[in-house]
Amino acid sequence: MDGAKLLSKLARKTYFIPLKSEVLETYKDTLKESQIEIIDKKPLKILGDEEVKGMSFEDGSSIDIDGIFIEQGAKGALELVAPLGVELDPETFSYIKVDKKQRTNIEGIFACGDITGPPLQLAKAIGEACVAAFSVAEYLKKFQK
């Protein structure tokens, strides 16, 4: 969703193709406000040989496009960590608050990726996962004998 809003400011035309209907219902008004066209169809195939030319859908229709940006967020872990007392961001209470080493306020609990807040991008998640892995390894060293 954040990526679609950003792209709508950079591209001539931006489409949003939700893979789940609940995503569409959640963001429908915001997308329309950002002049993003919603296509509620199941994608079938990316068209083009060496570069993206379009996308076809299961219903037989297609659109001409120059690029594809895939964004998939996940917030399901909040229910898992909330009972543990993990601190959430104070503005939205939608993300786990972490420091630069991906540590939460609870010793031994680390978080990375979409659950730590925007931008909800794969590259950010991968980078944070690397930092978290090193931090976990560092944390576990103190338990070695």
Higher pLDDT pick, 106 / 92: 106
Number of neighbouring beta carbons within 10 Å of residue 96: 24
Q: The CATH number of the domain where 126 resides is what?
A: 3.50.50.60
| Domain region containing 10 | 2-64
Interval 65-98: pLDDT, tens: 887 776 655 555 677 777 778 898 888 778 899 9
What's the CA gap between 119 and 2, in Å, rounded? 7
Residues 92 and 60 in one domain: no
Number of folded domains in the chain? 2
- For residue 103, being part of any structural domain is answered with yes
Interval 2-44: pLDDT, tens: 677 777 887 888 888 887 766 667 778 888 888 888 888 988 8
Query: Closest Cα partner for 101 from 126, 121, 129, 67?
Result: 129
Per-residue pLDDT, 71:
66
Residues 91 and 136 in one domain: yes
- For residue 69, being part of any structural domain is answered with no
Whole-model pTM: value is 0.53
